[in-house]
Amino acid sequence: MQLVIISGRSGSGKSIALQALEDLGYYAIDNLPAMLLGSLVDELRDQGDRAHLAVSIDARNLPGALERLPSLLDELRQRKIDFQVIYLTTDARILLERYSATRRRHPLTRDSEMTLEEAINKEETTLEDIRDLADLLIDTSRLSVHDLRRRITDQVAHQRRDKLTLTLESFGYKRGVPLDADLVFDVRCLPNPYWDPTLRQFTGRDAEIVAFLNSYPIVDAMSDDILAWLERWLPAYQNSQRSYMTIAIGCTGGQHRSVYMAEKLAEKLTPIMGEVQLRHRELGLHYTISEQLAAPLVSASTPNERPETS
């Protein structure tokens, strides 16, 4: 049996994630009381006809039930049940906007006098233990329904439990650091193509930006240092039974330097990892680079070497 436990903040897309797994053949149950998890696993194992099970366990549980969830998961682990916990989160301000737009009631406001904002904050506190136990944290703040379904398909349903799933994500600091990042590297100290009006329209995937950044020795130096660190420590993360790792690369706008660096690191890491997930948050792109499909980063003729500062 393969068990997926979906949890997270109300309004963050748990129903969409559960439906995506159900469409892939999982037996899906929403709002399962935590205390019934062990019994459900036993029942389905005895029947032998449900190899894949997905359940949603969140703040709608009875008071005190979530407190026992960590011990229930330990019991499943001791019984050699293959499971993973997926936690969905969204920025509180975006949750306020979503509830205001849909006019739905938050589950924690139904039997109390809490305001919507108080309920959102209380729910995050209530779910802290589950969040800490999660194998994968997904920030849905800027994900469309289709983006979330694709991430669930790629990172959960098709994920091999004996393999570390590595994601490199470029982002812009002006829109905030991704909430689901495990490691963050800041490349804002590198020369910025934005200040050249002829380059501003391009992205870090375009030959013009690649040529610009390739001409600065400081860019190669930072790339080499980050790569050396990852090559040294990624095996340690994998040996600690970690299933997912998201490495975020940030620059000011998330269009040029961070995109270039994420692409370059993915090119170097793919032969080591077999495949790498690439996500460019500000460009709205998400795709997988496999060892068979890996290709050098597009390049153009490199202009004369520039100094290391701009």
Identity of the residue numbered 168: L
CB-CB contact of 275 with 291 (8 Å)? yes
* CA–CA dist 292, 276 (Å, integer): 12
Q: The tokens of 3 are what?
A: 């068990």
- Residue 241 reports pLDDT greater than 70: no
**Phi and psi dihedrals of 281, rounded to 5?**
-60, -50
pLDDT at 296: 40
Question: Confidence class of residue 48 from pLDDT cuts 50, 70 and 90?
Answer: low
Name the least confident of 62-71, 243-252, 265-274: 62-71
Q: For residues 66-88, give the mean pLDDT.
A: 89
Instruction: Name the residue among 105, 186, 179 with its Cα closest to residue 142.
Output: 179
- Residue 105 reports pLDDT greater than 50: yes
- Residue 292 reports pLDDT greater than 50: no
Q: Is 11 left (phi over 0), alpha (psi -120 to 50) or beta?
A: left
Residues 114-126 pLDDT 10s? 888 888 888 888 8
Q: For residues 127-146, give the mean pLDDT.
A: 89
Share of the chain above pLDDT 90, in %: 44
- Residue 294 reports pLDDT greater than 70: no
Arithmetic mean of pLDDT over the chain: 85
Using alpha carbons, list the distances in angstroms from residue 260 to 3, 121, 203, 218, 285: 37, 37, 8, 14, 13
* CA–CA dist 254, 188 (Å, integer): 10
- Residue 4 reports pLDDT greater than 50: yes
Residues 174-214 pLDDT 10s? 999 998 899 999 999 999 999 999 999 999 999 999 999 99
Helices (H), 79-182: 92-102, 116-126, 128-133, 145-152
- Residue 287 reports pLDDT greater than 70: yes
pLDDT at 21: 92
Of residues 288 and 188, more confidence is placed in 188
Q: For residues 82-90, give the mean pLDDT.
A: 92
pLDDT at 158: 65
C-beta atoms surrounding 124 within 10 Å: 16
Residue whose pair of structure tokens reads 């669930």 in the numeric block = 152
- Residue 67 reports pLDDT greater than 70: yes
Q: Is the pTM of this model over 0.75?
A: no
Question: Confidence class of residue 142 from pLDDT cuts 50, 70 and 90?
Answer: confident
- Residue 288 reports pLDDT greater than 90: no
- Residue 246 reports pLDDT greater than 90: yes
pLDDT at 49: 58
- Residue 307 reports pLDDT greater than 50: no
CB-CB contact of 234 with 245 (8 Å)? yes
* DSSP per-residue string spanning 160-189: -TTS-EEEEEEEEGGG---TT-SEEEE-TT
